[in-house]
Structures are given as structure tokens and as C-alpha cells.
Amino acid sequence: MIRKMARLALITGLLSLSLTTVHHWFGPFAPQPTLKSAVSSAFDNLRHDAADALAGREGHYRNWRHWDLDQWLNVVEKVLAVLALFFALLSLLRREPLRPALAAMVLGAATLGFPYLLKYSIYLVVAALLASLGLLLA
């Protein structure tokens, strides 16, 4: 029977990995600025800063941004993954069943490694193709 810490670790790990997967496949959820608006706001800030510098006034920091939904989701995903790892470690320290604790650790680690797996998967594919080509030619 799964005890309390192992169950909590599994739930947070499952939530973190499912939230990461949904956010990756269906995101970004926040409205993205167009290229025209991004460039015009950058030039507008530059113009105001240059005018302030020529007039001898202190520059204003206009680059403060509000957090959008995607940034909040990224933080929540990472926090849930770290909580899953923490609860799994507590589960192991309390001598609870090994299999759910290890499964929760895998879920938390998969959540933390998900962006890197997607980023570097092309290198794995190329390496596998080169290895298979080397086996064919040998």
C-alpha cells in the first residue's frame, strides 16, 4: 500500500509532467507581441532615453515587464517538479515503498529535463544515423 509521502510525491510529479507536456504542445498561452510592436517599443524606449540623456535628466527604467501566463506556468512546473523530488526523497527516508518513490523521482526529473530533451533530441537522431551508417559501411 502506498503511504502518504509516496502518494504526494506521485501526485506532484504527475501534475508537473502533465502540465509541462500540455504547456509545450498547446502553448504559448499568453498573447505574443508582433514584430512590429516589439521593434517600435524598442525604438520608442531608445528615443526617450536619448532625449533624457541629451537633456541631462535621469533615465527611466521602462523595461519592467509584467509576468505573463507562460512565465507563471514555467515557474509552477519547476516548483512542482522539485516538490515531487523532495517528497520522493522524504518517502525514501521514511522507509516507504521503493517503487512509488522512484517513480515520483523519475517524473520530477523528466519534468526538469523535458526542455533539454526536446532541444537536444536532434543531436541524438544525428548520432544514431551516423552510428547506423558506420555499421553499414563497416
Using one digit for the tens of pLDDT, what is the confidence trace for 69-121? 899 999 999 999 999 999 999 999 999 999 999 999 999 999 999 888 878 88
Q: Is residue 12 part of a domain?
A: yes
Q: Is residue 36 part of a domain?
A: no
Distance from C-alpha of 28 to C-alpha of 92, rounded to nearest angstrom: 36
Q: Is residue 48 part of a domain?
A: no
- Domain extent for 79: 4-31+68-113
Distance from C-alpha of 100 to C-alpha of 59, rounded to nearest angstrom: 55
Q: Is residue 87 part of a domain?
A: yes
Question: pTM to 2 decimals?
Answer: 0.70
Give me the number of domains the chain comprises.
Answer: 1
Q: Is residue 101 part of a domain?
A: yes
Q: Which amino acid is at 2?
A: I
Distance from C-alpha of 68 to C-alpha of 105, rounded to nearest angstrom: 29
Q: Is 45 exposed, middle or buried (0-12, 13-18, 19+ CB in 10 A)?
A: middle
Each residue of 8-26: pLDDT tens digit? 999 999 999 999 999 988 9
Q: Is residue 78 part of a domain?
A: yes
Q: Is residue 15 part of a domain?
A: yes
Give the dihedral of Cα atoms 61, 63, 65, 70; nearest 10 deg. Answer: -160
Q: Is residue 120 part of a domain?
A: no
